[in-house]
Structure 1
Amino acid sequence: MIIKYNDKDLFIIESLGGQGKVVLYRWALFLQSKWNTYFDKIVYRKLIYQKTYENIINLERFIQFALNKKFSLTLRKLLHKKQEQNEESEHNSNRTFFCSELIASLYKKMKVLAEDTASSYYLPGSFSQQKNLKLINRAQLQNELVIDFEIS
């Protein structure tokens, strides 16, 4: 997920197996390190939502909670559709994430995704335009844009 803090600061938060944990880094570092070469393509969808003070604080708190949490992708997680009572609790020190699970959890904290489905049930394709993800509180994802890194 790309997060824009102001007109100049773009960050990426992600959980990838190679890193083994949730990380947050500047977009500029992503470009300088040429990490885009590890992907066939990167698709961007802007999230339109109510940027209330509460939603921003929830986002910030969740990022602080999630940073450095371990990466974990298990069959049990993938098959578990209903959210457990304490799954999204910020007091769960053993919490782990895989890529799309992290984004689903972020969306829940921002109050744009319903909490009844387990975050681990969302796969990367769940956020694609083709899947028509059901968001709440008038939130919406804009159309997909492929980021072209060949433009100089």
Structure 2
Amino acid sequence: MQRSQSFSEIQSLNNQVKLQDFVQQSPNQIENQIKESQFIFQQSFVNQTQVCHTPLEKYKNSSLGNTIIKQGVIHVKINTGSYKKSTLQLTIEKLVILEDKQWSLVFNLKYLAFNLIQCNKNSLRLIKIEFHKLNKVIFLKFNDEIEGKLWFQCLKMIDEKFRNNYRKLIIKDMYFGANFVTENEFLDWAETGDILLFETDHYLAKIQRAITSSNFDHVGLIIRKQEHKEILVVDVKNNIGVDFEFWKFFLQKNTHFKKICYRKLLNIERGYIDQRIQEFIDKVYGQEFQLNIMKMLQQQSDGLINKGYFCSELIAKAYKYCQLLPQQKASSQYWPVTFSKQINLLNKAELSQPMMILLDNDINYQL
């Protein structure tokens, strides 16, 4: 299955934005850069106006918000920390700090109210982004006045676009700097085969995360029931085994999850995945929780249907049943950390980057 036009549009637009330290530029070059940023910004919004019907279409359309309009190497200070030379990307919705070419900190300018402040009346070499309702601040320090002006203009463009179009959110500290999606966005996008990753607030889970060097200790699978447009969470519980619950009831009953992240399964044949996942869950529903030394030492697969599972083993089995993972490797060798990192799926399928779900209960709206 080919990627959507939206993805190719993002890549095409992003390829126009160069990553560079400051280089001496003429006034015409500066003006052209501003015009290019404005064009990319406006073009991405034109692409986002398409009518979306399916969860995948809605996800792809929203992904246009990751279109880059400016990037460069800048000195950054967050709150009372020290300045650090960092690679930054500014998309039409987010300010992103990268580490090893991967998104590290993400500030969602679409949903977070901020003030853009010129720290010196006569200079744009120091800019402050003040998230006043959150008591957070980011300083951007530039080597040159011109580069500061370019960034200031791009940030101002985003501020003017979103200031009156979206209700601004007051969020908990754990979401600040996270690549989050709202609960409503998640419910719009979720489809059968997508993955949920969990951070549990329990001392044994903390030990597991420390041992596996992971932020996550539990993993679940999504099933979307088309007939009533609800989603189910499939996971393995210690006292129940393989179980599924509707999303709202899942949240109500499982209050020990501190963070929940979402990864979307992409580039697959939707009808085939829906059928195979449902077949698999029908076969394993009610099987007991099982984790022992023999499983942990097992290297070769023992088939797809077992008498017991632990959480990530179940997900691996489900993906194998859909021909998304190699059959030879033992499913018990897959842990929650496996599904949180880059994983090579078969048949050109892939998982999106993890996105933290901003739960409705964790939001206050700015008046």
TM-score past 0.5 threshold: yes
Partner residue in 1 for 2:345: 135
Cα shift readout 1:63-122 (whole Å, capped 9, x = no counterpart)? 1011100000111111212113xx214xx5xx2110000100111111111111111110
1:29 aligns with 2:249: yes
Equivalent residue number for residue 10 of structure 1: 231
Alpha-carbon distance change, 151 to 111 in structure 1, aligned in 2, over 3 angstroms: farther
Query: Would you say the 8 A contact 1:15–1:102 is kept in 2?
Result: yes
CA contact (8 A) 1:56 1:110 kept: no
AA partner of residue 288 (structure 2) = K
Identify which of 68, 87, 96 aligns with 2:286.
68
In structure 2, the partner of 1:147 is 357
How far apart, in 2, do the equivalents of 1:108 and 1:5 lie? 21
Structure with the bigger RCO (C-alpha within 8 Å, sep 6+) is 1
Task: Note the 1:74-85 alignment, pairs <5 A.
Answer: 74-84=292-302
Shift of 1:34: 5.0
Structure 1 residue 42, shift from structure 2 partner: 1.2
Cα contact 1:41–1:146 (8 A) shared by 2: yes
Among 45, 50, 55, the residue aligned to 2:273: 55
Distance in 2 between residues matched to 1:143 and 1:52, nearest whole Å: 19
- Residue identity in the other structure for 1:147: I
CA shift, 1:5, in A, is 2.6
Letter in 1 for 2:354: E
Q: Secondary structure at the match of 2:258?
A: coil
Which residue number in structure 1 is paired with residue 264 of structure 2? Answer: 46
| Match of residue 48 from structure 2 | none
Aligned length: 141
Residue 11 of structure 1: SS of its match in structure 2? strand
| 1:20, distance to aligned residue in structure 2 (A) | 2.9
Unmatched tracts of structure 1, length 5 or more: none
The residue correspondences of 1:52-131 to structure 2 (distance < 5 A) are 52-84=270-302, 87-89=303-305, 95-129=307-341
Runs of 4+ off more than 4 Å: none
Please give the alpha-carbon distance, in whole angstroms, between the structure 2 residues aligned to 1:81 and 1:147: 34
* Structure 2, unaligned runs of 5 or more: 1-220
Q: Please, what is the CA RMSD of the aligned residues?
A: 1.8
Percentage of identical aligned residues: 33
With the length of structure 1 as denominator, give the TM-score of the two structures.
Answer: 0.84
Alpha-carbon separation, structure 1, partners of 2:317 and 2:280: 9
Higher Cα radius of gyration: 2
